Amino acid sequence: MTEKSSPTDPLHARGGSGATIADVAQAAGVSVATVSRALSGNYPVAKATRERIFRSVTDLGYVANAHARALAGATTRTVGIIINDVADPFFAYIARGVERQASAEGRMCLITATHGDKDRELALVDLMREQRTDAVILVGGASDDPRYRKQMADRARALAAAGSTLVLCGRPSLGTGVPTKMVTYDNEGGAFAITDYLISQGHRRILYVGGPRDFSTTASRLAGFYRALDARGIERDPSLVHEGAFGRGFGYSRMREILDQGMDFTAVFGANDLVAAGILEALEERGIRVPQDISVVGYDDVPVASELRPRLTTVRVPLEELGREAVRLALSQSPHDAGASSDNTLTVGTHIVIRDSVSPPKKP
Amino acid sequence: MTEKSSPTDPLHARGGSGATIADVAQAAGVSVATVSRALSGNYPVAKATRERIFRSVTDLGYVANAHARALAGATTRTVGIIINDVADPFFAYIARGVERQASAEGRMCLITATHGDKDRELALVDLMREQRTDAVILVGGASDDPRYRKQMADRARALAAAGSTLVLCGRPSLGTGVPTKMVTYDNEGGAFAITDYLISQGHRRILYVGGPRDFSTTASRLAGFYRALDARGIERDPSLVHEGAFGRGFGYSRMREILDQGMDFTAVFGANDLVAAGILEALEERGIRVPQDISVVGYDDVPVASELRPRLTTVRVPLEELGREAVRLALSQSPHDAGASSDNTLTVGTHIVIRDSVSPPKKP
DNA sequence: TTCTCCATAGTAAACGCTTACTATTTCTAG
DNA sequence: CTAGAAATAGTAAGCGTTTACTATGGAGAA
């Protein structure tokens, strides 16, 4: 009876749903409990028995049913990550970090995308709760809509009540007392540093382009931008700030509009590298030289930054590291509680990387 | 494990692992069956009852346990995708297509990465089998090691026996009779077309750089390359073919070596856009102008291709579409059986996109 | 020799949900 | 009025594992 695995049909078996632990037990002539124990190895099983069991397992091509296992109490060994878009390098690199660290810690990784839809984000958190993931990592800036914050806070509590953890990655806290962990990067500091660099090169009229309005990432970068201006005593000029979106397309089209208006400026701060790429293209199209005529900087230091010509001066964000830390923190035993305590919130630094897209402004 | 509430959390204790359907039933004063039915909506439930149930659901923050649900027979509504690397744009765009189509069809998406390790790939297929995903999509070129093929074929059969489907995306068949579905792109045709384009511009000595040896993608691209050469009666010169890897780094370093050797050629075919980017950098570093001195082409038409200067002439592969089709096919009812039949294998076309990196060779 | 104590193995009770059967009502048609 | 068909609910049998209890030999202790 240990012989015939299953009566496989002509070429490929029909709807049989694969071997169960009971099949293995029968094939090996032991009880299911023994099989379970041999497989998990957390209980003594005689060597001969174990070998017989493993043989049956291979013969039958048995793999445990993860759902039954999860249901019976073992943990799911899965972490969920929610990002905007799988193909956006900013998120892709964070996802890579998450995926790598998760697999290093023996976890699977459930990756989902919101396509920038807040409600979908909320729904995805619930989906992950359904999946009983060990943690859910929420990546990227967040809307500051209070209703949204409240709803997310509820989810954080529900997750915590179920023994899981909500990790905020690169976004602001949901408020004190809400059970989350956080890993962020110094968004404001990077913006300050690169703006200050521009100023140190002699720029005074700097355009800020991109990033959705009412969005935490935009707010921080803009805060750093303004702080640098203030520190050097340069007046803020609202007409120089052009919020909108994070894509390359936005950078391109908005820059064209700006150029059409004939505004007065000597440098442009792209809200991220993609926006900067679009800006560069618009400039190139008009025959404006970078950096001789206009200087341009970006943010994130995504690979494309060094492919652009001129190579883009930008702010480096350790994206992959951010992802890794998120799962480390999530899986660590530290109690979650976003607050002032440093155990459950971690900030990684940013720094500017100087390449070829900035020079002192042209003397008029 | 009902008892497992951790004593760790002073602030928001209320432990317990979340509400179950029984809690909802009790709160609403009905049986669990009724709750289940109200939730799935596949059976009549009186309006008043239903409303009471939904109220309890919200009050308790209940979400179904996906594992219990899966175990009880409902499908898992999950598709798995196995790629090399989340941050590689080639894979990222395919993953985006998969993710979008899956979510359009109400599925979650389990994304995992092999980091180029064959054994890990095999293990990941098993992991997805454990998860009972509705389908597993295997993306990217494959090794042609026969042992590996046999092992993967076994897994395809096991998956089929469990009612799931293995979809091969951009890789060759596992052999006739192995139950898989396939979606591919015209790899060889694209390589032929772009090589022919180079030849039509007057190039005769064309370097081929990149792509792992003994890898299906490399084989197809090289096949197209050779076919174009043959068609125009140009002799194949083995010294012009430099296999190796797919990364940008490989393109850069190998190109430097080639330049050091002072080989004779007028154009370079990068095995993919990333390799081409590396090649471009090596060329730029030596002050060699593209396309005036040397022409360069790539493959895939990943976004970076149009950021490079000169903009890269390359072969467009509809990556996202490939991913979408993979899940469409996977979730369709067509019987899986890779063979000549067209029902279960789909090929999307490729075409060259001409930009600025090619011109006729310099007259000596 | 008899009694304990391990090393092993088996039994059966969850885990949380779906769904085939049943059991009530309430209509509707005859 | 009454039989039969909805419309609604409830009961309970799984689904495939894990794991707390039990059970059974022997080995070593007394």
Rounded CA separation B10/B271 (Å): 58
* Rg value, chain B, Cα: 26
Average pLDDT, chain A: 91
**B154: chain A residues, CB-CB within 8 Å:** 61
In this prediction, residue A344 has a pLDDT band, given cuts at 50, 70 and 90, of confident
Please state the separation of Cα A110 from the chain's center in Å: 12
In angstroms, how far is D18 C1' from A51 CA? Answer: 21
User: Which segments of chain B belong to CATH 1.10.260.40?
Assistant: 1-74
In angstroms, how far is D21 C1' from B94 CA? Answer: 52
Instruction: Answer yes or no: are the C-beta atoms of B315 and B193 closer than 8 Å.
Output: yes
Rounded to a whole number of angstroms, the distance from the CA of B115 to the nearest CA of chain A is 9
Chain B residues 34 to 53 with C-beta below 7 Å from nucleic strand C: 36-37, 39-40, 42
Q: Is the torsion defined by CA of A70, A73, A77, A83 positive or negative? A: positive
Interchain CB distance below 8 Å, B111 and A109: yes
Structure tokens at A147: 């209703």
- The CATH class for the domain spanning B187-318 reads alpha beta
User: Is the pLDDT reported for residue A241 higher than 60?
Assistant: yes
pLDDT means over runs of 10, chain B (364 residues): 29 53 95 94 92 94 93 88 96 97 93 93 94 95 92 94 93 93 97 98 98 96 98 97 97 98 97 98 97 98 97 98 96 64 81 98 81
Per-residue model confidence as pLDDT tens digits over B45-84: 999 999 999 999 999 999 999 999 999 977 889 999 999 9
Closest residue (CA) to C1' of nucleotide D12 is B33
CATH of domain B78-186+319-348: 3.40.50.2300
Rounded CA separation B255/B276 (Å): 10
What count of CB pairs under 8 Å joins A to B? 180
Q: Touching check for A147 and chain B: CB below 8 Å?
A: no
Interchain CB distance below 8 Å, B157 and A13: yes
Rounded CA separation A23/B13 (Å): 42
In angstroms, how far is C1 C1' from A31 CA? Answer: 35
A49 C-beta less than 7 Å away from strand C: yes
What pLDDT does residue B335 have?
65
Interchain CB distance below 8 Å, B161 and A13: yes
Interchain CB distance below 8 Å, A109 and B109: no
**B65: chain A residues, CB-CB within 8 Å:** 71, 130, 132
Nucleotides of C under 7 A from a protein CB: 7-12, 14-20
Element (H or E) spanning B263, and its range? none
Instruction: Answer yes or no: are the C-beta atoms of A131 and A125 closer than 8 Å.
Output: no
CATH of domain A78-186+319-347: 3.40.50.2300
Per-residue model confidence as pLDDT tens digits over B241-269: 999 999 999 999 999 999 999 999 999 99
The residue to which tokens 């992959």 are assigned: A320
Interchain CB distance below 8 Å, B9 and A64: no
Least trusted range by pLDDT, from A234-238, A342-346, A347-351, B40-44: A342-346
Q: Touching check for B321 and chain A: CB below 8 Å?
A: no
A73 C-beta less than 7 Å away from strand D: yes
In angstroms, how far is C10 C1' from A41 CA? Answer: 17
In this prediction, residue A18 has a pLDDT band, given cuts at 50, 70 and 90, of confident
In angstroms, how far is D24 C1' from A105 CA? Answer: 40
What pLDDT does residue A9 have?
27
A15 C-beta less than 7 Å away from strand D: no
- The CATH class for the domain spanning A187-317 reads alpha beta
The residue to which tokens 């139950």 are assigned: B179
Residue B123, Cβ neighbours under 10 Å: how many?
A: 13
- The CATH class for the domain spanning B1-74 reads mainly alpha
Chain A residues 72 to 131 with C-beta below 7 Å from nucleic strand C: 72-73
Instruction: Answer yes or no: are the C-beta atoms of A356 and A291 closer than 8 Å.
Output: yes
Rounded to a whole number of angstroms, the distance from the CA of A237 to the nearest CA of chain B is 31
The residue to which tokens 């030289």 are assigned: A289
What pLDDT does residue A74 have?
72
Indicate the Cα dihedral angle A199, A205, A208, A209, nearest 10°: -130
B71 C-beta less than 7 Å away from strand D: yes
In angstroms, how far is C29 C1' from B41 CA? Answer: 30
User: Which segments of chain A belong to CATH 3.40.50.2300?
Assistant: 78-186+319-347, 187-317
Per-residue model confidence as pLDDT tens digits over B118-136: 999 999 999 999 999 999 9
What pLDDT does residue A333 have?
76
Query: Which of B141, B109, B112, B97 is CA-nearest to residue B323?
Result: B97
User: Which segments of chain B belong to CATH 3.40.50.2300?
Assistant: 78-186+319-348, 187-318
Please state the separation of Cα B160 from the chain's center in Å: 21
User: Which residue of chain A has the CA closest to B115?
Assistant: A100
β-bridge pairing A314-316 and A351-353: antiparallel
Q: Touching check for B9 and chain A: CB below 8 Å?
A: yes
Interchain CB distance below 8 Å, B68 and A71: yes
Interchain CB distance below 8 Å, B67 and A63: no
A39 C-beta less than 7 Å away from strand D: yes
Rounded CA separation A159/B17 (Å): 9
In this prediction, residue A15 has a pLDDT band, given cuts at 50, 70 and 90, of very low
| Closest CB from B112, B157, B162 relative to A17 | B162
Render A141-159 in DSSP notation, one character per residue.
--B--HHHHHHHHHHHHHH
User: Is the pLDDT reported for residue A92 higher than 80?
Assistant: yes
What pLDDT does residue B74 have?
73
Residue type, B80: G
Chain B residues 51 to 110 with C-beta below 7 Å from nucleic strand C: 62, 64-65, 68-69, 71-74
Q: Touching check for A86 and chain B: CB below 8 Å?
A: yes
Q: Touching check for A340 and chain B: CB below 8 Å?
A: no
Per-residue model confidence as pLDDT tens digits over A217-235: 999 999 999 999 999 999 9
- At B144 the three-state DSSP class reads coil
Q: Touching check for A311 and chain B: CB below 8 Å?
A: no
Interchain CB distance below 8 Å, A108 and B108: no
**B110: chain A residues, CB-CB within 8 Å:** 108-111
What pLDDT does residue A337 have?
54
